[in-house]
Amino acid sequence: METTALGKTGLQVSRLGAGLAEIGALDDLSTASRVLNAALDGGINFLDTSPWYGKSEEWIGRSIAHRRHEYVLATKGGHDADGHESEQWTAKVVLDSIERSLKRMQTDYLDLVQLHSCGLEVLERGKVIQALLDARRAGKTCYVGYSGNLKGARWVIDSGMFDTIQITFSLVDQWARWDVLLKAEAAGMGVIAKRPIANAAWGAPASPDPVREEYRQKAQAMIDMGPIRRAPEDPILLALGFVLAHLEIDTAIVGTANPAHMKVNSALVESELPIPAEVVRELHRRFDQMARR
């Protein structure tokens, strides 16, 4: 699979990454192991997890720790996942979380630790950022990042203290295209796209889940503008092709608890991309038109 540099970190990451929230909900180590090994065997080397993703970190340690040299390991920190401390977003919570992540994933270092969706007031106080930087100096993590919303991403980029950002970006949520992607690239930051397939919203039926339904309605509004010439029929290929056409994005993380789906996603990215540039431009136009309504 194609790889690219994650900003200025020096890490080479696969354009398709694995988001590991879904495997955290599994009670079966065997299935989790097959998902993780399918990712590595398919050329995916960027694994994104979190202490808040159920058993995800535990499954990583118990199934692929022996393959540690094959993957870039990213996790998150900031607010407590195990009830160890009532106050959230403190230096102690960040450092304790890192120590637990190292133990669970059976590794002596993390490639990337990201603050997990904290607000501007937390960033501006600076204590959790200092804790991340202390962990980097101590060799617990090689790099530090932020995973969150557009306002937080803009602050993080301007601060110059972070190596990466993780931001929502998809064919139905293109807001980051207007400033964040370009600013991050100019700053030499690695960019990780989360929710790149928008919960498989393109052409999906109505859903009782409010997030899925919001994405579906946006997708339907774009679909209703008419056929897109030369667009792939496979909605997952269309979604991934759109996101990865933006070269500011180094890797796009997709999650699944199904080993077969992991293999299919890897094959799509490896053999079916890029999608036509005219399709990407048309999706830009349709989103911009929808956003102006």
d(CA 76, CA 87): 17
The residue annotated as part of the active site, out of 53, 71, 143, 146, is 53
d(CA 156, CA 149): 11
d(CA 122, CA 278): 41
| Cα angle 251, 274, 229; round to 5 | 130
Q: Which residues of 96-135 are buried (b: 16+ CB within 10 A; e: fewer)?
A: bbbebbbebbbeeebbbbbbbbbeeebbeeeebbebbeeb
CA neighbor of 193 nearest in space, from 112, 115, 252, 113: 252
User: DSSP 3-state assignment of 253?
Assistant: strand
Is residue 53 among the annotated active site residues?
A: yes
d(CA 164, CA 167): 10
Question: Rg (Cα) of the chain, in Å, rounded?
Answer: 19
Catalytic residue numbers read 53
